[in-house]
Amino acid sequence: MNEHKAHTKSIETISTANNNSNNNIALQIDEEAEKKEILRRYRKLLKSIKRKITPEERKNIRKAFDLAVKAHANIRRKSGEPYIYHPIAVAQICAEEMGLGDTSIICALLHDTVEDTDITLQDIEKLFGKKISTIINGLTKISNVLDNNKSIQAENFRKVLLAMAEDVRVILIKIADRLHNMRTLEHMSREQQIKIASETLFLYAPLAHRLGLNSIKTELEDLGLKYTNPEAYNEIAEKLKETEEERKKYINKFIQPVKKALEEKGFKFRIFGRPKSIYSIHNKMAKKHVTFEEIYDIFAIRIVIDSEPENEKSDCWEVYSIVTDIYHPYPDRLRDWISTPKSNGYESLHTTVMGPEGKWVEVQIRTTRMDELAEKGYAAHWKYKEASQERESRLEEWLRKVREALENPDSDALEFIDDFKLNLFSDEIYVFTPKGDMKTLPAGATALDFAFEIHTKIGEHAIGAKVNQKLVPLSHVLQSGDQVEILTSTKQKPSEDWLKFVVTARAKSKIKAALKEQRKKVAEEGKEVMKRKLQKLDIPFESDIINEMISFFKLPNVMELYYRVAVGNIDLPELKSFKKYKESKHKKSTVENNEKIETLVTRTRGKGDLLVIGDKMEQLDYKLSPCCNPIPGDDVFGFITTDEGIKIHRVNCPNAIHLLSHYAYRVVKAKWVNEHLLSFLAGIKVKGIDKLGLVNEITKVISNEHQVNMRSIKFDTEDGLFDGEIMVYVHDTKHLNRLIKNLKKVEGVTSVYRMDGVES
């Protein structure tokens, strides 16, 4: 009761500032109702804390809450709600959905104060101590950074990862912050929605996956799809709703005999069916080019048993035995992550069995402990200290790799993020050293990846490997269970070719660092050669001249210029061309020569926030991107390039997530106008059963479609199946979809879909 009064008082104090704004729009706001709502949310937060907290910890949480309320007093979110709702919601996610304790809750409540208000890190440290100010510092975003080579987002991610390497709570709170922003994304503009959702799919969902936050990862992916491809999201959501009753009946039919058998054996358990996420269903449809109806594993059955720690393994295998006595298993689809957990700590037995009505069904078997760790990941480890020491050491090992990757100050932020991300989502294999030590690597890893995993020097000097006693090249792809011995030579050095077949971030970064060092030595020789050659041509060796040469030869930096001179790639003829260009050069105010990307972005945005494609009045230079070949009707955005004007991409283009998350500030909104019926090239893929006259029927459908011109048609047949690619000119997506619909009606055709990229 006293605590309630104390909070009411603190809120009343900071709210009086608004009371005299008679002419202000704030007159519409019921301040008393808002104060009550803030307190209600705060009390709900306290109730949701799963760990035991001391009176001192409770007092500090209250102090953080009061400070956050005061700091955000006059700020509102896009939705019109008081800003304080957001930090409370983030703290709620940390407490309730991640199971974090008082430190994380305090940091979540204060996570935006340093960036958005007058409160400084020094204030935070004075009030709450060094640990909390360090975490808050890691959470504070970078703002107003425009760099020619690196994106705001990439540098921001890098800072988060640096802080995360010191304290994993930074990334856990950051993920909670992103989850709440995604849950309230409907209040943002369409442009912002696409940028934030793309960034989420690009980095935050994979990070949640890597930290074992399964339910949060799933929600981030689904929300990401909802805003990047609303049409696909809504279609699958609708179909899941339509098939819900039928699915429930089938799940019930499947469960009954299993339930009965488990009860007879005396197990305490929960058994239920749950549909796969919308994002994973969409991915499967896109990958396999099948319809919703053609996916057999729309749902999975999960069996969660209560089991003592020492009996967990045997109990799970006994349940597996009971299930496979009732339903016949698919032999190749057994996944045992209990004997060897995934590196994010995931433990479970997965099998696929033949259920009633001849349908394959996935069954997941795990204990209550495994289930909680699977859903909440590393954040839940505190509850199972004894059982999760190995899990913690795996996390420490992963964070050690992150720290190591971040140690190189010269590494490019974008490259680092790409390499880092590669290893977030990959499946895993388990391989052994000659002494029997187990190493975890991503699926697709090679003998050279393994060499770098053992030690950097072993990787750099590797010349080959023995896998299961057989000699193999460094590019040999390893399989789970392989025993690997690396052969080395002191004369061996890393080469560019190695980058083509390694997959781990560690191997890539070490090879790049070694190559850079090699290039640096060659470049030093090239610098001396350059001085002599310029002297011959009577060109002064000055920094301005060198910078002009870098621009003229379109090179990334001065080291690359000297390197190319050293290896003879740039010689006297090329230098003479540069001299000629320099002499004839006249001032141009073009993007290619003088404008930095910041200026270009400002200049383009100054012409209006919306790029209208197809409008003759529009003076901006734009091109349709060949990677996704957009046509009128597609949801699109414009991307400002340095040398090709504005490129138009589809929002669901294969490269969209990369562009939007790396270079969000170079994106302009774009829309089509349909004043003129122009023709656009689109590609269609057709598959089916080969039969006489089929090609003739397909071409007849195309020629009968009003105003569709076919540019090319290519068919391959093998073992009674055909695979065809057709290039057609259409007006818009409506026109293309109508044609696809008609082609699907042709007898023998099993699937028709639009190709992502076409060559013009």
CB-neighbour burial class of residue 659 (10 A; exposed 0-12, middle 13-18, buried 19+): buried
Reduced to 3 states (helix: H, G, I; strand: E, B; else coil), residue 150 is coil
Under 8 Å CB-to-CB from 710, ≥6 apart: which residues?
Answer: 699, 702, 703, 726, 727, 728, 729
Confidence of residue 358 (pLDDT cuts 50, 70, 90): confident
Neighbours of 355 (CB within 10 A): 19
In a domain, 620, yes or no: yes
Q: Are residues 247 and 358 in the same domain?
A: yes
Residue 452 within any structural domain of the chain: no
Q: What is the pLDDT of residues 532-543, one digit of tens each?
A: 888 888 888 887
Residues across the chain: 760
**Domain finish residue from 644, 672, 700:** 672
- Distance, in Å, from the CA atom of 303 to the CA atom of 366, rounded to the nearest integer, reads 6
DSSP class per residue in 69-109: HHHTTT-B-TTSSBTTHHHHHHHHIIIIIS---HHHHHHHH
Provide the pLDDT for residue 318. 95
**Cβ atoms within 10 A of the Cβ of 520, count?**
12
Q: 474: which residues sit within 8 A by CB, 6+ positions away?
A: 446, 447, 448, 451, 462, 463, 464, 465, 498, 501
Alpha-carbon gap, residue 94 to 91, rounded angstroms: 5
Distance separating alpha carbons of residues 503 and 426, to the nearest angstrom: 10
Same domain, yes or no: 552 and 667: no
Q: Count other Cβ atoms within 10 Å, centred on residue 473.
A: 12
Q: What residue type is assigned to position 485 of the chain?
A: E
Looking at the predicted structure, is the pLDDT value of residue 147 above 70?
no
Q: Which two tokens stand for residue 291?
A: 């319809």
Q: Residue 416 falls within a domain, yes or no?
A: no
Predicted local distance difference test score (pLDDT) of residue 545: 82
CA angle in degrees (0–180, nearest 5) for 653-659-662: 155
Three-class DSSP labels, 640-696 = ECCCCCEEEEECCCCCHHHHHHHCHHHEEEEEECCCCCCCEEEEEEEEEECCCCHHH
163 and 289 share one domain: no
Is the pLDDT at 11 greater than 60? The verdict is: no
The per-residue pLDDT for range 102-118, each reduced to its tens digit, is 888 999 999 888 888 88
Res 387 pLDDT > 60: no
pLDDT tens by residue, 390-442: 555 666 666 666 666 555 544 555 555 555 655 555 667 788 888 878 888 88
Contacts of 333 (CB under 8 A, 6+ apart): 350, 351, 352, 362
Return all residues near 745 (Cβ < 8 A) that are at least 6 apart. 701
The C-alpha angle with vertex 623 and arms to 619 and 629, in degrees rounded to 5, equals: 145
The whole-number pLDDT of residue 376 equals: 73
DSSP class of residue 362 equals E
The per-residue pLDDT of the chain, averaged, comes to: 79
d(CA 522, CA 510): 19
Q: For position 171, which CATH number holds?
A: 1.10.3210.10
> Does 314 have pLDDT greater than 90?
yes
Helix axis angle for 85-92 and 55-71, nearest 10°, is 150
Q: Distance between CA atoms of 263 and 517, rounded to whole angstroms?
A: 66
Q: Looking at 384, 412, 447, which one is the last position of a domain?
A: 384
> How many Å is the maximal CA-CA distance in the chain?
95
Close Cβ partners of 716 (under 8 Å, ≥ 6 residues apart): 722, 723, 724
| pLDDT score, position 614 | 52
Asked if residues 656 and 649 have their Cβ atoms less than 8 Å apart, the reply is: yes
Q: How far apart are CA 662 and CA 150, in angstroms?
A: 8
Residue at token pair 């409008």: 615
Q: Which of 672, 701, 730 is the last residue of a domain?
A: 672
In a domain, 75, yes or no: yes
116 belongs to the catalytic site: yes
* Residue of 760, 758, 755 whose CA lies nearest to 286: 755
Query: Is residue 143's pLDDT more than 50?
Result: no
H or E element in which residue 197 lies: helix 190-199
Whether 115 is in a domain gets the answer: yes
Grade residue 330 by pLDDT with cuts at 50, 70 and 90: confident
* Pairing assessment for the beta strands 622-624 and 360-367 based on DSSP bridges: unpaired
Q: Which two tokens stand for residue 269?
A: 């358990």
Are 601 and 579 contained in the same domain? Answer: no
Q: Tokens at residue 478, please?
A: 């390893």
CA–CA gap between residue 22 and residue 44 (Å, rounded)? 33
Sequence-distant (≥ 6) Cβ neighbours of residue 259 within 8 angstroms? 271
Distance CA 82, CA 89 (A): 12
Domain identity same for 319 and 195: no
- Angstrom distance (rounded) from CA 243 to CA 234: 14
Exposed e or buried b for every residue in 319-339, given b needs 16+ CB within 10 A? Answer: bbebbeeebeeeeeeeebbbe
Determine, yes or no, domain membership for 164: yes
Mean pLDDT of 177-192: 90
Closest of 24, 119, 27 to residue 72, by C-alpha: 119
Number of structural domains (the chain) is: 5
Residue type, 330: Y
Q: Are 185 and 197 within 8 A, CB to CB?
A: yes
| Residues 262, 369 within the same domain | yes
Same domain for 114 and 178, yes or no, is: yes
Whether residue 138 contacts residue 132, with contact meaning beta carbons closer than 8 Å, is answered with no
* pLDDT tens digits, 480-514: 888 899 999 888 888 888 988 898 888 888 888 88
pLDDT of residue 604: 53
Instruction: State whether 90 and 178 are in the same domain.
Output: yes
Please name the amino acid found at residue 270. Answer: R
Catalytic residue among 12, 115, 186, 238: 115
Per-residue pLDDT at 263: 93
CA proximity to 87, closest of 102, 72, 103: 72
| Backbone conformation region of residue 366, classed left if phi is above 0, alpha if psi is from -120 to 50, else beta | beta
What is the pLDDT confidence band of residue 593, given thresholds at 50, 70 and 90?
very low
618 is annotated as an active-site residue: no
* Same domain, yes or no: 141 and 194: yes
Residues 613 and 741 in one domain: no
Here the tokens at position 522 are 């060659």
Structure tokens given for 722: 């055909």
Instruction: State mean pLDDT over 625-648.
Output: 78
SS3 261: helix
Q: Determine which one of 57, 116, 318, 418 is catalytic.
A: 116
Instruction: Write the CATH number for 320.
Output: 3.30.460.10
> Which residue, among 195, 186, 207, has the nearest Cα to 153 in the 3D structure?
195
696 and 716 belong to one structural domain: yes
Give yes or no: residues 542 and 667 share one domain.
Answer: no
Rounded Cα distance between 140 and 374, Å, is 29
For residue 756, which of 602, 650, 618 has the smallest C-alpha distance? 650
Identify whether 726 is part of a domain. yes
209 found inside a domain: no
**What is the residue range of 198's domain?**
2-202
